[in-house]
Amino acid sequence: MEPDLRISKYQSVFIKAVGLWLLASTTFITVVTWQNARVRATVGMGWGLILIWIVLLGNLMYRFREPIRLAVTGIRLDWRVKFVLFATSLALVEEAITTTMTNLAPLFRAKVGEAYITASTNYLDVIALHSVMIFVPMFVGWAFILWRYDFSPFAVFLLFGLTGTLAEMSFGLQHALEFGLWIFVYGLMVYLPSYCVPKARNARAPRWWHYPLAVFVPFLFLPLVPLPLIAALFYPNHPRIHFPPIGG
């Protein structure tokens, strides 16, 4: 039986520090934008994502990681295929939460489309043309990395979180300050799948320089697993965001 890969004391301190930064920064943004109804509603949706995806589901993932690993191990598929399918399934859940938040704009005292945290209110549009179809090639990239190198589940969580932070910065450099949110949002998509990867797979221990490289390698798989290119081919004029900018 493979060992229970608990996070170390230092990893726990790091997660708590990032979590405190996330809560403190989101609280600060909530306070300073309170008078702006549209921004306040958007931040409220962000709180919904934090509470459901990070606090609730994140804790459940960690709490039940062992029985989940045993169940996944029993599935008769190549572990790389299982990794990609599992990570994709979690990404679909995360996007279901964010799309639901966008559709709940009236709950936050805004009209649908005035405040949002997804590119569209249509779930299929979001996952097929904006988000998950971009994530899948990156998951394939991490399956390739884990085939060659024995990164710990915590390392995969952190590194893909940093990859996600860089991806969000394509929408504006200000998103770099939201690294606490993105590390958890993206990291939780791959933590459990990486936890379920078998240790006995002849993978080499990573060198120090493999860690920063692993932040960028998933981007290389976007053209190699060309789901975004296929989507762009069929929908060349599809808008990046379906709503007007959130402003004053």
* pLDDT at residue 2 tops 70: no
Amino acid letter for position 137: P
> Is this prediction's pTM over 0.85?
yes
| Mean pLDDT, rounded, for 152-175 | 94
Residue 149 to residue 11: CA distance in whole angstroms: 20
* pLDDT at residue 122 tops 80: yes
Residue 156 to residue 29: CA distance in whole angstroms: 29
pLDDT tens readout for residues 18-59: 999 999 999 999 999 999 999 999 999 999 999 999 999 999
Q: pLDDT confidence of 231, banded at 50, 70, 90?
A: confident
| Mean pLDDT, rounded, for 69-79 | 95
* pLDDT at residue 4 tops 80: no
The pair of three-digit structure tokens given for residue 149, joined into one six-digit string: 């190198």
Name which residue leads in pLDDT, 38 or 6.
Answer: 38
Name which residue leads in pLDDT, 8 or 50.
Answer: 50
Q: What is the pLDDT of residue 5?
A: 67
Q: What is the pLDDT of residue 6?
A: 66
CA 64 to chain CA centroid, nearest Å: 19
Domain residue limits, the chain: 9-234
**Following DSSP, what letter does each residue of the chain receive, concatenated?**
-----PPPHHHHHHHHHHHHHHHHHHHHHHHHTTT-HHHHHHHHHHHHHIIIIIIIIHHHHHHTHHHHHHHHHTS-S-HHHHHHHHHHHHHHHHHHHHHHHHHTGGGGTS-BTTB-SSS-S-HHHHHHHTSHHHHHHHHHHHHHHHHHB---HHHHHHHHHHHHHHHHGGG-GGGGGGHHHHHHHHHHHHHHHHHTS-S-S-PBPPPTTHHHHHHHHHHHHHHHS-HHHHHHHH-TT--S-SSPPP--
* pLDDT at residue 229 tops 80: yes
Residue 58 to residue 52: CA distance in whole angstroms: 8
The pair of three-digit structure tokens given for residue 14, joined into one six-digit string: 């790091």
